[in-house]
Structure formats: structure tokens, C-alpha cells
Amino acid sequence: MSKNPMILDHPLVQHKVSHLRDRNTGTKEFKELVSEIAMLLCYEATRDLPTEEVEIETPVAIAKTRVLSGRKLALVPILRAGLGMVDGMLTLLPAAKVGHIGLYRNEETLEPVEYYCKLPSDIAERDVMVLDPMLATGGSAVDAITQIKKRGAKSIKFLAIIAAPEGLERLHTAHPDVDIYVAALDEKLNENGYIIPGLGDAGDRIFGTK
């Protein structure tokens, strides 16, 4: 990857993120947009997957062409909000295994509290993509990636929809080997650790809990 973080500047991504931010966007459309943006992030984050040449018989000739050369992949959404990105990713990567890490932010300290971790048993052999729509202070992403590395994974990417500069800095400092892909880079965090302008609480908007 040439740039870390990679901030997608594609018009489709910008258009969809604008609608996602809108406070008048309801749960159904919000979920659809998260899934679609995840698909576009996936397209960019898989640009370096290795391919191999094969011969395919078309109805008229033999084509020398390329297919993915069988790298094993794992998606690891950070619960809850990361779940919203899984379907979009699996649309493009149907063979990927899915692990889950449950984290929530302590509202006062803003530090992550871990409550669940279940990863594919062969995670150490897989290229891992960690998913969370929001990278705010970066505490959740850093903690999730630390847990995944403890279980042996060596190749890890992090995909978020909106990032704050504070979160990008913290994640890059803690895990400089991790390539980061984001759909939008925002201005700052407010005093409650929310991204400004952001989109509010992603988990609540995906699951309709507020």
C-alpha cells in the first residue's frame, strides 16, 4: 500500500458517507449504506491480494486469465457496530471466515472493555481485516488488534468508515504494521469522545437502540 492511512476519495464513497451522516437517515437506509460502503472499502483493501494465472475455456477459445491464489482471509468485526460491515464484505469475499470481538467504551474513561472474543482457530494463518465503522480515540481498534496479534495473526488491516485524527495517530503508533483504510477523515473528537462532525453513535443507528 502506498499510503497509510488510505483515505478513499471516490465520489461514490463520499456520496454514501454524506447520507450516512444525515440525522434524518433512518435505520434501514443507514444499515444499507454501511454495508455498501464496507463493500467499497473491501474493494480497495483487497487490491494487493495475490493472483495466479489459469487457463479457462470460454465458448470460443482458451483464455489465459487470473484468479485469486487462495490466501485465507478472516473478517473480525468489533461488536456491535462492526457487524454492520460484515455482509458487504462477505458479498465480495464469500470464503472469508468471520471472528468476533466484543468491546464497548467505558463512558467515563473512554477506554475499551472487552466482553467477547471468538476467532477462527487458524487465525494465525489468515490475512485479517478488522472492521469497525468508527475510529474515535482509537482505544477499541488498538485493543482488538492487540487481542488478534496475541492469537498469532501477523497480517492485519483495519477498515473504518469515519476516523478522527486522534484515533488514526493512536492506532498507527500502537500498530505501525497495520494498514488502515477509511472512507472519511473528520476534524476532531468532542469532550465526550464523539467524532465531529461524524454521524453520532454508529451502533445505535445500525440497531435502532436509541
Ligand X SMILES: O=P(O)(O)OC[C@H]1O[C@H](OP(=O)(O)OP(=O)(O)O)[C@H](O)[C@@H]1O
Ligand Y SMILES: O=c1cc[nH]c(=O)[nH]1
Phi-psi category of 70—alpha, beta or left, where left has phi over 0 and alpha has psi -120 to 50?
left
Residue carrying the nine cell digits 483504510: 181
Residue 32 binds which entry of ligand Y, ligand X, Mg ion, none, CB below 5-8 Å type-dependent: none
| Among 34, 136, 145, 148, contact with ligand Y (rule: CB under 6 A) | 136
Residue type, 37: I
Binding mask 64-83 for ligand Y (x = CB under 6 A): -----------------x--
Q: What phi and psi, each to the nearest 5 degrees, are found at residue 154?
A: -115, -25
Segment interacting with ligand X, rule: CB under 6 A, options 44-52, 78-86, 123-131, 178-186: 78-86
> Using a CB cutoff of 8 Å and minimum separation of 24, what contacts does 103-111 make?
103/78, 103/79, 103/140, 103/143, 103/144, 105/136, 105/137, 105/139, 105/140, 105/193, 110/136, 110/137, 110/139, 110/193, 111/139
Q: Sort strands 127-131 and 73-79 into parallel, antiparallel or unpaired.
A: parallel
Residue in 84, 88, 99, 203 binding ligand X, rule: CB under 6 A: 203
184 binds ligand Y (CB under 6 A): no
Pick from Mg ion, ligand X, ligand Y, none: which does 194 bind, CB < 5 to 8 A by kind?
A: ligand Y
When asked if residue 84 is in the footprint of ligand X (CB under 6 A), the reply is no
Q: Is 155 annotated as a binding residue?
A: no
Pick one of 76, 134, 142, 145: the residue that binds ligand Y (CB under 6 A).
134
Which residue number, 120 or 203, has a Cβ lying nearer to ligand Y?
Answer: 203
Which residues 190-209 are close enough to bind ligand Y by CB under 6 A? 193-195, 198, 201-203
State which amino acid sits at residue 154: K
